Every structure is written in C-alpha cells, then in structure tokens.
Structure 1
Amino acid sequence: MSETCQIVCGHCGRTNRLPPGRAPDGARCGSCHQQMFTGHPIEVDEEGFARQLANSDVPLLVDVWAPWCGPCRAMAPMFERAAQQLEPRVRPLKLNSDRAAATSSRLNITGIPTLLLMRRGREIARHSGVMDARSIVAWTEAGLTHS
C-alpha cells in the first residue's frame, strides 16, 4: 500500500489509519488493541454496516442473510472459509436482513443469500444464491479485478 489506508475495527467500530507501506495482516486497533483482521466475517448491524461503508478503504464483501433461511445457513461455513482466504484484501461482513430491514431495503435485496461486493461506498458486484468457498473467492477476485 503506497498511501494511508483507513480500516474500521470490527470489534469497537473505530476507524484506524494504516501508515503507508505497512501490511494490514498484523494490524491492531489503536483504540481496543484487538487484531484488525481475524480471518472471520464480522457480524454488523445497520449502524456498523454504515460505518464500514463510509469509512473503510478496504473493499467489503457483504453476506446478506437471515437465520430462518436454509440456503443462508448452508452457505455460512463456505463464507467463513472464503473469509480466511480473502482477508486482509477484503473485509467480510454478515448483515442479518431481518435485523437490518431498512438497510436491506435500501440495498434492494430481493432474495437471500445475497453477496455484495462494495468499494468506497458503492456496489461493484452482486450475486444471489448459494456459492461454495472456492466460487465466492473467485467471484470476489473477479469483481475486484473488473472494477
């Protein structure tokens, strides 16, 4: 990274600035001192999603799901495995569409599970339906390459 990069902590929600040339792999939050990237998706509510979207320079991979959705539950371990491969290049988030109904509506979510790839506040790719971990990684990398 050649310039300062902003990363939102998944634990406390504070925005951190990563100095130029510093790899994000081992970065810790300046406020709560937790590891910034853990290889696991971050569960966000509407406020947390808005904070990540507005303040993160790292692309976001958002899994919009619901606890009652069988396909969503089936894809959850696949998303977890994909997160391990994609971090720290991408910040994986899980957004519960039932608890974040207003955000889901604003994002025009019509079916779940839906994956959104977002960069600097805008959507760059979308996929509805179940995918395995390898497909999630390939789809994400393709979306980043083409944006």
Structure 2
Amino acid sequence: MADHRVTCLSCASVNRVPATKLGAHPKCGTCGARLMEPRVHDIDTETLRKAERNDTIPLVVDFWAPWCGPCRMMAPEFEKAARVLAPHARLAKVNTQVHGDASQRYGIRGIPLLVLFRDGQEVDRLPGARPATEIEAFARRHTAERA
C-alpha cells in the first residue's frame, strides 16, 4: 500500500504515513502531535490551505462562528463523527469570525457549512447543521474505508 500525506493540524508540517500505520496513532515528525486523533481540531486558514493542497486523507472542515446558534448545536455532533471516522477521515473547524478571509476564499454564503477536501481539491459540500450520522455518511462517501 502507498504512503499517505497528512498535514499536522498542530504545526502544519506535512508528514508521510504508510497506509498500514494510519490506525496506529502516527505522530508528527516535527512536533510530535498525533496526526490521526479521533477529535476535532480548531485550525486557521493557513493550516487549512496547506492540508487542502497536500493531504490524501479526507479532511472535513466545519466553517462556523461562535454567534451562530446552529453551529453551536452541531458542535457535539461533529465531535461524535470525528471519533467514529478516525483514522479514515479527519475533522477540523475554522472560525469564520476569527479567520474572515475564509468566507471569501472558500465562497461561504452561510454557516454552518461542511466542506470536504482530499488530494488537493475541494470534493464536496454539505450546508446546515447535521447530526453525527449524516456527517459520517458525508465523509464516508469519499474515504477508502466505507465500513
């Protein structure tokens, strides 16, 4: 099996991880952070741009803001989905209030908005607050592991 490229969501370093090691809690070669943690990471747009260009593992990004009621309601569901989907997909959040450039760069017209990136491109979008099961189904449509 081939190696995967995975951007560390803590330090933004790109790492190569053998496909057979994705479930073995691989760590970043630069900062030592776990690369495939079953949790949601808060990231900035610079880290997202690097992951968007480099990662071969699906990355589902929740574009949200703290003033958005549906965004806050979906947060626990997004966390549940992250625990289920690891190590076949990673989940991250970008706060559009803090990172205002995200809305323009990614053409965001409403939040919450889930955008799935893989292999250097945006692959799919899912608008609105969703339960964990719908988030999982959305991500699984684009993962090698569909179980």
Which position in structure 2 is the counterpart of 1:74? 73
The one-letter code of the counterpart of 1:128 is P
Structure-1 separation of matches of 2:95 and 2:107: 14
Which position in structure 2 is the counterpart of 1:122? 121
Within 5 Å, give how 1:1-147 maps onto structure 2: 2-19=1-18, 21-25=19-23, 26-144=25-143
List gaps (5 residues or longer) in structure 1: none
Q: Rate the CA distance shift 1:144–1:114 in 2: closer, same or farther, 3 A.
A: same
Structure-2 separation of matches of 1:27 and 1:139: 25
Write the deviation string for residues 24-55 of structure 1: whole angstroms up to 9, x where unpaired.
12211112222212211111111111111122
Structure 1 residue 72 displacement after superposition: 0.1
Structure 1 residue 107 displacement after superposition: 1.1
Aligned residues: 143
Structure 1 residue 143 displacement after superposition: 4.5
Identity percentage of aligned residues: 36
Decide which moves more: 4-13 or 76-85: 4-13
> Any idea what SS the aligned residue of 1:82 has?
helix
The RMSD of aligned alpha carbons is 1.5
Q: Rate the CA distance shift 1:68–1:118 in 2: closer, same or farther, 3 A.
A: same
Structure 1 residue 75 displacement after superposition: 0.2
Structure-2 separation of matches of 1:82 and 1:135: 9
Structure-2 separation of matches of 1:44 and 1:98: 13
Structure-1 separation of matches of 2:16 and 2:21: 12
Q: Which runs of 4+ in 1 moved over 6 A?
A: none
Write the deviation string for residues 56-93 of structure 1: whole angstroms up to 9, x where unpaired.
11111010000100000000000000011111111211
Structure-2 separation of matches of 1:14 and 1:106: 22
Decide which moves more: 62-71 or 35-44: 35-44
Decide which moves more: 78-87 or 121-130: 121-130
Decide which moves more: 41-50 or 63-72: 41-50
- TM-score norm. by structure 2 comes to 0.90
Decide which moves more: 44-53 or 76-85: 44-53
The one-letter code of the counterpart of 2:137 is A
Q: Rate the CA distance shift 1:121–1:100 in 2: closer, same or farther, 3 A.
A: farther
